[in-house]
Amino acid sequence: MTNEVRAFETRATEAELEELRARLAAARLPEAETVPRWGQGVPLADLVDVVDYWRTGYDWRSFEERLDRIGQFRTIIDGLGIHFLHRRSARADATPLIVTHGWPGSVAEFVDVIEELADPEDADAPAFHVVAPSLPGFGYSDRPATTGWGTEKTAAAWVELMGRLGYERFLAHGGDWGGNVTTVLGGRFPSHVLGIHTTFAQGLPGSSLDGLTAVEREWAEQTRDFWGRRAAYAKQQATRPQTIGYSLVDSPVGLLAWILDKFAEWSDTEDSPFETISRDRVLDDVTLYWLTRTGASAARIYYESHDSLDPGLRVDVPSAITMYPRDIEKCPRPLAQERYRRIVRWNSPESGGHFPSLEVPGYFVNDLREGLAAVLAADRH
C-alpha cells in the first residue's frame, strides 16, 4: 500500500559515529577572527570548544532514544518518504496538532515540548495529539530528486499525512519555514485546518508603513535591515545550494559553523547561544543533519520557496500570532492583518528569539496552549 504508515527507529551505526569523531579530530581550522567575538561569524575559540565536546562528550544515542520514546514513523506521499514524530495524547478531549520546524532546525526543536503538549500535568490545560514531520529534504525524510517540493506542496502533503492518521481537521503551528507552511495550510485548506498559531507572519509586498507606531515602524525597519545586510546565507541557499552543499555534507565542522552562526545570531542572548540553549540540543540538530547527509537538500528549501509566499493568499481561519523580540522577522500587527484576517490572539513576549521551543520551552508551551485555546474558542463561534 502506497499510503501505509510504518513505525521507524533511529539507529546510526558505530562506524558512522566513529567516522564523525575521526573527521572532527582531523579538522583543518582557520586562524582566529580579526575583530572582537562574533563580528565575522563564529569565533574560533567557541568553535574549538564545541568541536571538542562533540567529539568527546556528546551522546547521540540519548537523542535517538528520545525520538523513539516519542514515536517515529514514515510514510510515502507523492513518491517521497516523509518522516514524522507522532505522540497521541491519553486525553479523550485532545485536538490534533501538526507542528512544523524550519531551517536550520529539525524535529529536534520540539523534543522538549511534545510530551507536555500531549499529556499536560495540569488537567485544565488543553491537550493535543502532536505530529511533528521532518520537512522534505530534512532529517529522516527523503531528499527530493527533482524540483517542486516547496512550501505549497509541503502543506498539501501535511493535509494528506494528517488524514492518514485519522485527523481530518486539525490545528497547525510553525515558525521560520514551518510558519510559512502553516500560513499556506491556513490559507489553502480551511476545511481541514481549525486554525493556526505561528511565530512567523508575513504581510503583503509593498505595504505602507504609514500609521504605524514608532515600535511597529522599528520592527519593519529591523526586518528590512535583516534581509538587506544579514541574509547572505539565504541568498546563497536560494541561488547556489549545491555549491554550499558540498561543504555541509563533507565537513562536520563546516556544517556546525554554518548552523551555529544562526543559533547565535538569532537567539535572545548577549554573546553565546549556549546562554539559553544547551550544547546537547544544538548538537542533536547538527548531528541529525550530518548523519542524514541533508545539508544540501535542506538548503534547497530556499531555492524552492524563497520569496514565494503568494501575495494573494489570505488566511481566514482563526490565527494566533506571537512575535518574539529577538526574532529575525517581526511583522507589525497592522501589516499582518492584511493577510491574517481573523487574528484572535496577538502576543509580543519580553524575551525569546527565533528558537523559542529551545530558548524558553516553558513559556513556549504556555503561549502555544493559550493561542490555540483562543483559536478553538473562535472556531466554535
- Mean pLDDT to the nearest integer, 270-280: 96
> What's the half-sphere exposure (Cβ side, CA atoms, 13 Å) at 226?
16
Kindly give, in sequence order, each residue whose CB lies less than 8 Å from that of residue 122, ignoring residues fewer than 6 positions away. none
Of 162, 92, 90, which is closest to residue 133 (Cα–Cα)?
162
- Rounded Cα gap, residues 247 and 15, in angstroms: 21
pLDDT of residue 379: 67
In the chain, what is the greatest distance between 2 CA atoms, to the nearest angstrom? Answer: 62
Looking up cell 485519522 gives 166
Residue 305 pLDDT exceeds 80: yes
Q: Between residues 250 and 208, which one has the greater pLDDT?
A: 250
pLDDT, averaged across the chain: 96
Residue 1 pLDDT exceeds 70: no
CB distance 114 to 357 below 8 Å: no
Q: What is the dihedral of CA 287, 292, 295, 296, to 10 degrees?
A: 180
b/e burial code for range 234-253 (CB count within 10 A of at least 16 → b): beebbeebeebbeebbebbb
The pTM score is 0.97
Residue pLDDT, tens place only, 17-36: 999 999 999 999 999 999 99
- Mean pLDDT to the nearest integer, 198-226: 91
Quote the radius of gyration of the chain (alpha carbons, Å): 20
C-alpha cell recorded at residue 208? 505602507
Residue 330 pLDDT exceeds 80: yes
* Domains defined along the chain, listed by start: 5-379 (3.40.50.1820)
Residue pLDDT, tens place only, 70-117: 999 999 999 999 999 999 999 999 999 999 999 999 999 999 999 999
CB distance 193 to 155 below 8 Å: no
User: Which long-range contacts does 240-247 make (Cβ < 8 Å, 24+ apart)?
Assistant: 241/296, 241/299, 241/300, 241/302, 241/303, 242/296, 244/295, 244/296, 244/299, 245/295, 245/296, 245/297, 245/299, 246/296, 247/295
Q: What letter would DSSP give residue 107?
A: G
Residue pLDDT, tens place only, 281-304: 999 999 999 999 999 999 999 999
Residue pLDDT, tens place only, 160-194: 999 999 999 999 999 999 999 999 999 999 999 99
Q: Would you place residue 308 in the very low, low, confident or very high pLDDT band (cuts 50, 70, 90)?
A: confident
pLDDT of residue 98: 99
Q: What is the DSSP string of 21-79?
A: HHHHHT---PPPPSSSTTBTBS-HHHHHHHHHHHHHT--HHHHHHHHHHH-EEEEEETT
Instruction: State the first-to-last Cα distance of the chain, in angstroms, to the nearest integer.
Output: 40
C-alpha cell recorded at residue 213? 507606531
